Structure 1
Amino acid sequence: MRIEMDGINDLAAGFAADNLTVIKEARKAVEKTVAAAVRDAKTFAPVDTGALRNSISGEVSYLAASTVGEFGPTVNYGQFVEEGTSRQAPQAFVGPAFDRNTPPFISAMEAIVGKLGK
């Protein structure tokens, strides 16, 4: 996948000027999105014993000026449920949770970037 951005220098200059505010707001957006995605994945997960649903969690890591959010199940069969097998149809729950929470995350990031121009 290739992503191109125009005006990256202007964006970088804006981030430098409001770096701390941008970092704090972006971290909040990631934290909120991961929490919402975990909630949705638990809602969408098929339930047999409840182990799959109970294993779904999220984590946010902070490295200097970057923030990484991850979520998903910890049981070893979670991927097989999500993607299916030769004997079982997929029962996606992580993908739909991700898809549902991507637009609000993008909107939050656009709002943060929009504040830089003001």
Structure 2
Amino acid sequence: MGANISSLELLYADLGGASKRVVEMSKVVIKKTALDIERNAKAIVPVDTGNLKNSIGHSDMRMLSSEHLQVDIGPTANYGQYVEFGTSVQAPQAFMGPSLDRFSGQFEQAMAQLGAEALGG
């Protein structure tokens, strides 16, 4: 019986260590993806004065809970949504959506790989 408890304790310690590594590696993946999306959006955004392009950025990463990390990516210019989605008199000129689409597959693949590594496979 004592051996089983020790084995469970070792497994718990290993999982805790793996969990911490996965969280840290997840932060790297999230940060890289945010930078990639930001860079791509700046490359494809329509430019008139440059204000919208210069306002595209990302927030600092924050932990919403022990399992949820968040970073916001997008423009701070108040008219960014009108360029992205259009208006009744202007067609949409999407720059954030296509940028997100371009990197979402890579992000999902990297996160799936982290999950598989955490589970030992």
TM-score by length of structure 2 reads: 0.81
- Counterpart CA distance in 2 for 1:79 and 1:22 is 34
RMSD: 1.7
Describe the SS at the equivalent of 1:60. Answer: coil
Q: Which residue, out of 80, 83, 86, partners 1:84?
A: 86
Matches of 2:17 and 2:50 in 1, distance apart? 48
Whether contact under 8 Å (1:38, 1:71) holds in the other structure is yes
Aligned 8 A contact 1:15 1:22 in 2: no
Q: Identity percentage over the alignment?
A: 38
Deviation at residue 67 of structure 1 after TM alignment: 1.4
Paired with 1:27 and 1:92, the residues of 2 have a C-alpha distance of 27
What is the match of residue 27 of structure 1?
Answer: 27
Cα contact 1:60–1:67 (8 A) shared by 2 = no
TM-score for the superposition, normalised by structure 1: 0.83
Structure 1 unmatched ranges of 5 or more: 1-12
Given that 2:52 and 2:75 are in contact with CA atoms closer than 8 Å, whether structure 1 keeps it comes out as yes
- Number of residues of Structure 1 aligned to a counterpart in Structure 2: 106
* Cα deviations by residue, 1:34-84 (Å, 9 ceiling, x for unpaired): 000000110110001111100000113222533101100001100000000
Where in structure 2 are there 5+ consecutive unaligned residues?
1-11
